[in-house]
Amino acid sequence: MFSKQTVRDIDLTGKTILLRADYNVPIEAGKITDDYRIKQSLPTINYLLDHGAKLIICSHAGRPKGVDASLSLFPVAKRLKQLLDKPVEFVPACVGDQVTKAVSGMKAGDVLLLENLRFQSEEKANDDAFAKQLAGLAQIFVQDGFGVVHRKDASTDAITRHLPSVAGLLVEKEVNTITEAMHNPKKPLMAIIGGAKIADKLDILNSFIEKADFVAVGGAMANTFLAAQGVDVADSLYDKDSLKLAKDILDRAEQEAKQRDFTFAIPHDVVVAEKIDKTAQTRIVELTTHTMADIENYPKRPPAKASKLHANEKILDIGPFSASFIAGAIQLCETVVWNGTMGVPETAGLQGPIGPFAHGTQTVVEALLGELGHKPFTVVGGGDTVGYVESRKLADLFGHVSTGGGASLELMSGRKLPGVEALKSK
């Protein structure tokens, strides 16, 4: 399926390889708090070393404006040394005499990590002269930074004009897995889509309305769909400019459901609070079904507030009925693509790891991991979704957790990835 050459297609023995990895990992006070992306680069690194290469690794971290010590890749070099159980030399530069000298002394099996590429403004500018300097360090370029292949930077685009360029094993795996889930999934196929703006997910929503059997929408994006249906979302975050877009998508989904067995689900109930804070008092508002309010207030009639937001309240999560509805649908599906959390799961909890606005996301996670019975093959993509999964140390339990938020979204939307397109074809 993968149409580009990979490290398996070339002779590596004795060659100096420049590997573009994605080591944009969270670092606090010089300590890496999540090394998932580093671990995902190890199969390619070990393959290159096992085949007699000299290995130079380059990457970026964060969005620095010039040199920023807090975004140095030195902690990555230390962690890589532990994971590989072999020396990893670090150079506090990515081009220049110091780097050239370090490379000249390398032997087969040696590993050298360069400093943050984005300390040089030429990286983001896709500067050809800078790319030529990087290329001058090696004989072959290997692109394995899936998290950046949707961008045209010097280390994803311009460099491929100066060196024979092939894909690493991670990029191959990411592209194959996501493409398979989109175009040849084991059915039924379900998509769970969150995020803030419909415009950002328009292509992926349209794609899944066409291909999936069940689409569930959560996150702030769901607020826009609710508003488009006439629900007063009060002080909630929603995209006023996309109300017509939301109506068009709902109409298209309705037409699709008339043609075949298809469900497009937006929340029936929501969790609201007056502020995004771990101490905020929460309540459930039932927008369509009033089961919980009936039970809680029986034998009295439920008050009007049970189905309406107050003016100063915000929708911050899907409610338990909506989460259970999604969880039930998961039991019937064989492939699930999950891109976007259901609420605001990064808000810390007072009683444990599950915050006040993370219960919807947690219910979805439990269903995806088979805790309710059936476990589908799940592809997890999107920065906030992957971040949540990694923070809970659950990444190894899913079928595939993508290392690239924007890149996975672009691929799911059917767009080409410039950093992949620039590689040598088979």
Which amino acids are annotated catalytic? 37, 197, 383, 406
For residue 387, the number of C-alpha atoms closer than 13 Å in the C-beta half-sphere is: 13
Helix axes 219-228 and 243-259, enclosed angle (nearest 10): 90
Q: Point out which residues pair with 67 in neighbouring strands.
A: none
Quick one: which of 36, 260, 21, 51 has its CA closest to 142?
A: 21
105: which 2 tokens? 């002394």
Residue with tokens 């459930």: 284
Structure tokens at 322: 């909506």
Contact 374, 330 (CB under 8 A): yes
Amino acid at 391: S
3-class secondary structure per residue, 134-176: HHCCCCEEEECCHHHCCCCCCCCCHHHHCCCEEECHHHHHHHH
399, 377 Cβ separation under 8 angstroms: yes
